[in-house]
Amino acid sequence: MTEKEKKQKLKALKDTVRNIPDFPIPGIQFKDVTPLFKTKESLRDLSDVLVEEYKNKGITKVVGIESRGFIMGPIVALELNAGFIPIRKEGKLPADVFEEAYEKEYGIDKIQIHKDSLSENDVVLLHDDLLATGGTMLAAVNLVRKAGVKKIYVNFIIELEDLKGRVLFPEEIEVVSLIKFGI
Protein backbone atom coordinates (compact mmCIF):
# COMPACT_ATOMS: atom_id res chain seq x y z
CA MET A 1 0.00 0.00 0.00
CA THR A 2 1.34 3.41 -0.92
CA GLU A 3 1.48 6.27 1.58
CA LYS A 4 -1.25 8.04 -0.42
CA GLU A 5 -3.53 4.98 -0.25
CA LYS A 6 -2.88 4.69 3.48
CA LYS A 7 -3.78 8.35 4.07
CA GLN A 8 -6.98 7.95 2.03
CA LYS A 9 -8.00 4.88 4.00
CA LEU A 10 -7.24 6.56 7.33
CA LYS A 11 -9.27 9.65 6.37
CA ALA A 12 -12.24 7.47 5.39
CA LEU A 13 -11.91 5.53 8.64
CA LYS A 14 -11.73 8.72 10.71
CA ASP A 15 -14.84 10.02 8.98
CA THR A 16 -16.61 6.75 9.89
CA VAL A 17 -16.01 7.07 13.65
CA ARG A 18 -19.22 8.18 15.34
CA ASN A 19 -19.23 10.90 18.01
CA ILE A 20 -21.75 10.37 20.82
CA PRO A 21 -22.18 13.52 22.97
CA ASP A 22 -22.67 13.15 26.73
CA PHE A 23 -21.93 9.42 26.85
CA PRO A 24 -21.50 7.74 29.28
CA ILE A 25 -21.84 10.92 31.36
CA PRO A 26 -22.53 14.59 30.54
CA GLY A 27 -19.51 16.39 29.08
CA ILE A 28 -17.89 13.31 27.50
CA GLN A 29 -17.65 13.14 23.71
CA PHE A 30 -17.54 9.37 23.18
CA LYS A 31 -15.72 8.14 20.08
CA ASP A 32 -17.64 5.07 18.89
CA VAL A 33 -15.51 2.64 16.85
CA THR A 34 -18.35 0.23 16.08
CA PRO A 35 -19.20 1.86 12.71
CA LEU A 36 -15.68 0.85 11.58
CA PHE A 37 -16.75 -2.80 11.78
CA LYS A 38 -20.18 -2.35 10.16
CA THR A 39 -19.22 -2.71 6.49
CA LYS A 40 -16.84 -5.13 4.88
CA GLU A 41 -15.11 -2.16 3.19
CA SER A 42 -14.29 -0.28 6.39
CA LEU A 43 -13.38 -3.49 8.21
CA ARG A 44 -11.04 -4.44 5.35
CA ASP A 45 -9.49 -0.96 5.25
CA LEU A 46 -8.89 -1.03 9.01
CA SER A 47 -7.37 -4.49 8.79
CA ASP A 48 -5.18 -3.50 5.81
CA VAL A 49 -3.80 -0.42 7.59
CA LEU A 50 -3.08 -2.34 10.80
CA VAL A 51 -1.37 -5.20 8.99
CA GLU A 52 0.67 -2.80 6.84
CA GLU A 53 1.94 -1.09 10.00
CA TYR A 54 3.21 -4.33 11.57
CA LYS A 55 3.91 -6.76 8.72
CA ASN A 56 7.70 -6.42 8.97
CA LYS A 57 8.05 -6.27 12.77
CA GLY A 58 8.28 -10.01 13.43
CA ILE A 59 5.09 -10.12 15.52
CA THR A 60 4.52 -13.60 16.98
CA LYS A 61 1.52 -12.77 19.21
CA VAL A 62 -1.21 -10.16 19.08
CA VAL A 63 -2.58 -9.45 22.55
CA GLY A 64 -6.03 -7.86 22.70
CA ILE A 65 -7.47 -6.11 25.74
CA GLU A 66 -11.02 -6.94 26.80
CA SER A 67 -13.33 -6.23 25.17
CA ARG A 68 -12.90 -4.13 22.04
CA GLY A 69 -9.32 -5.35 21.59
CA PHE A 70 -10.93 -8.72 20.85
CA ILE A 71 -12.47 -7.44 17.60
CA MET A 72 -9.45 -6.48 15.47
CA GLY A 73 -6.84 -8.43 17.45
CA PRO A 74 -7.64 -11.88 16.03
CA ILE A 75 -8.08 -10.50 12.50
CA VAL A 76 -4.66 -8.84 12.58
CA ALA A 77 -3.10 -11.92 14.20
CA LEU A 78 -4.30 -14.12 11.33
CA GLU A 79 -3.00 -11.68 8.72
CA LEU A 80 0.40 -11.50 10.48
CA ASN A 81 0.61 -15.30 10.88
CA ALA A 82 0.67 -14.80 14.64
CA GLY A 83 -1.28 -16.15 17.58
CA PHE A 84 -3.91 -14.21 19.52
CA ILE A 85 -3.87 -13.86 23.31
CA PRO A 86 -6.64 -12.21 25.36
CA ILE A 87 -6.09 -9.97 28.35
CA ARG A 88 -9.22 -10.28 30.48
CA LYS A 89 -10.70 -8.65 33.52
CA GLU A 90 -10.07 -10.33 36.85
CA GLY A 91 -11.62 -13.76 37.33
CA LYS A 92 -12.36 -14.60 33.69
CA LEU A 93 -9.36 -16.78 32.82
CA PRO A 94 -9.36 -20.40 34.08
CA ALA A 95 -5.63 -21.24 34.31
CA ASP A 96 -2.73 -19.68 36.24
CA VAL A 97 -2.45 -15.94 35.52
CA PHE A 98 -0.26 -12.92 35.84
CA GLU A 99 -2.25 -10.00 37.23
CA GLU A 100 -1.85 -6.23 37.14
CA ALA A 101 -3.88 -3.64 39.05
CA TYR A 102 -4.44 -0.11 37.79
CA GLU A 103 -6.41 2.96 38.76
CA LYS A 104 -9.58 3.97 37.01
CA GLU A 105 -11.77 7.01 37.56
CA TYR A 106 -13.85 5.17 40.17
CA GLY A 107 -11.34 2.86 41.87
CA ILE A 108 -8.92 0.02 41.21
CA ASP A 109 -9.37 -2.52 38.43
CA LYS A 110 -7.34 -5.65 37.58
CA ILE A 111 -6.49 -7.39 34.34
CA GLN A 112 -5.00 -10.83 33.81
CA ILE A 113 -3.23 -12.97 31.22
CA HIS A 114 -2.50 -16.69 31.30
CA LYS A 115 1.05 -17.35 32.50
CA ASP A 116 1.66 -19.85 29.70
CA SER A 117 0.44 -17.63 26.84
CA LEU A 118 3.71 -15.79 26.11
CA SER A 119 7.40 -16.65 26.12
CA GLU A 120 10.74 -14.87 26.06
CA ASN A 121 10.91 -15.37 22.27
CA ASP A 122 7.66 -13.55 21.55
CA VAL A 123 7.37 -10.20 19.81
CA VAL A 124 4.05 -8.83 21.00
CA LEU A 125 1.62 -6.38 19.48
CA LEU A 126 -0.68 -5.07 22.22
CA HIS A 127 -3.91 -3.79 20.66
CA ASP A 128 -6.90 -1.85 21.95
CA ASP A 129 -9.46 0.49 20.46
CA LEU A 130 -8.77 3.76 22.28
CA LEU A 131 -5.94 5.64 23.99
CA ALA A 132 -7.34 8.17 26.43
CA THR A 133 -5.45 8.47 29.73
CA GLY A 134 -3.44 5.29 29.04
CA GLY A 135 -3.90 3.50 32.36
CA THR A 136 -5.36 0.27 31.00
CA MET A 137 -2.73 -0.14 28.30
CA LEU A 138 0.12 0.68 30.69
CA ALA A 139 -1.20 -2.07 32.97
CA ALA A 140 -1.28 -4.39 29.93
CA VAL A 141 2.33 -3.50 29.07
CA ASN A 142 3.38 -4.29 32.65
CA LEU A 143 1.44 -7.54 32.51
CA VAL A 144 3.10 -8.66 29.26
CA ARG A 145 6.52 -7.70 30.64
CA LYS A 146 5.97 -10.23 33.45
CA ALA A 147 6.16 -12.94 30.77
CA GLY A 148 9.63 -11.70 29.75
CA VAL A 149 8.86 -11.19 26.06
CA LYS A 150 11.48 -10.03 23.54
CA LYS A 151 9.70 -6.86 22.35
CA ILE A 152 6.39 -5.02 22.80
CA TYR A 153 4.57 -2.78 20.32
CA VAL A 154 1.44 -0.86 21.33
CA ASN A 155 -1.40 -0.02 18.97
CA PHE A 156 -4.68 1.86 19.20
CA ILE A 157 -7.31 2.54 16.58
CA ILE A 158 -8.06 5.97 18.10
CA GLU A 159 -6.07 8.37 20.28
CA LEU A 160 -7.54 11.32 22.17
CA GLU A 161 -4.41 13.44 21.96
CA ASP A 162 -5.46 16.13 24.45
CA LEU A 163 -5.51 13.57 27.28
CA LYS A 164 -1.78 12.86 26.74
CA GLY A 165 -1.98 9.15 27.58
CA ARG A 166 0.98 8.50 25.31
CA VAL A 167 3.42 10.05 27.82
CA LEU A 168 2.97 7.08 30.20
CA PHE A 169 4.81 4.67 27.93
CA PRO A 170 8.58 4.13 28.08
CA GLU A 171 10.63 5.30 25.07
CA GLU A 172 11.54 1.76 24.03
CA ILE A 173 7.88 0.96 23.32
CA GLU A 174 6.63 2.15 19.96
CA VAL A 175 3.08 3.48 20.31
CA VAL A 176 1.00 3.89 17.14
CA SER A 177 -2.51 5.30 16.92
CA LEU A 178 -4.17 5.16 13.52
CA ILE A 179 -6.71 7.95 14.05
CA LYS A 180 -6.15 10.99 16.28
CA PHE A 181 -8.72 13.36 17.71
CA GLY A 182 -8.56 16.44 19.93
CA ILE A 183 -11.19 16.67 22.61
Q: Which residues are catalytic?
A: 68, 105
Distances (CA, A) of 12 to 20, 71, 158: 18, 19, 13
Peptide bond into 67 cis (omega under 30): yes
> 32 with 19: CB under 8 angstroms?
yes
Residue 146's nearest CA partner among 53, 57, 63 is 63
Q: Which residues, listed in sequence order, are joined to residue 175 by a DSSP beta bridge?
A: 154
Q: Which residues, listed in sequence order, are joined to residue 139 by a DSSP beta bridge?
A: none
